[in-house]
Amino acid sequence: MIEAVRTIVQEHKSYKKQIFKLAKSDLIKTYNGAALGWAWAVVKPMVTLFVFWFGFTVGLRAGKPVNGYPYFLWLVGGFLPWFFMQDVITGGSSCIRKYKHLVTKMKFPISVIPTYYNISHIYVHFVLLAISIALFATFGYMPDIYLLQIPVYMLMMFAFFVVWSLFAGMLSCVSKDFHNLVVSLSRAIFWLSGIIYNVNSIDNYWVRLILKFNPVTVIATGYRNAFIYKVWFFEEPLDMCCYLITLIVFTILAIRTFKRLRKEIPDIL
pLDDT average per 10 residues of sequence, the chain (269 residues):
82 84 78 60 73 66 76 88 91 86 80 90 89 89 93 95 93 86 88 86 88 94 94 93 96 91 77
Residue-level pLDDT at 60: 53
Nearest alpha carbon to residue 111 among 243, 263, 268: 263
Q: In angstroms, rounded to a whole number, what is the distance separating the alpha carbons of residues 25 and 94?
A: 18
Q: In angstroms, rounded to a whole number, what is the distance separating the alpha carbons of residues 169 and 80?
A: 24
Residue-level pLDDT at 58: 64
Residue-level pLDDT at 236: 92
Total count of domains within the chain? 1
| pTM, full prediction | 0.90
Residue-level pLDDT at 32: 66
- The one-letter code for the residue type at 269 is L
**Contacts by 42-48 with C-beta closer than 8 Å and gap 24+?**
42/127, 42/128, 42/131, 44/83, 45/79, 45/83, 45/128, 48/79, 48/83
Residue 66's DSSP bridge partners are 69
Nearest alpha carbon to residue 19 among 127, 95, 101, 120: 120
Domain span at residue 257 reads: 2-268
Q: In angstroms, rounded to a whole number, what is the distance separating the alpha carbons of residues 124 and 117?
A: 12
Residue-level pLDDT at 102: 80
Residue-level pLDDT at 47: 76
Residue-level pLDDT at 85: 93
Residue-level pLDDT at 37: 57
- The one-letter code for the residue type at 124 is V
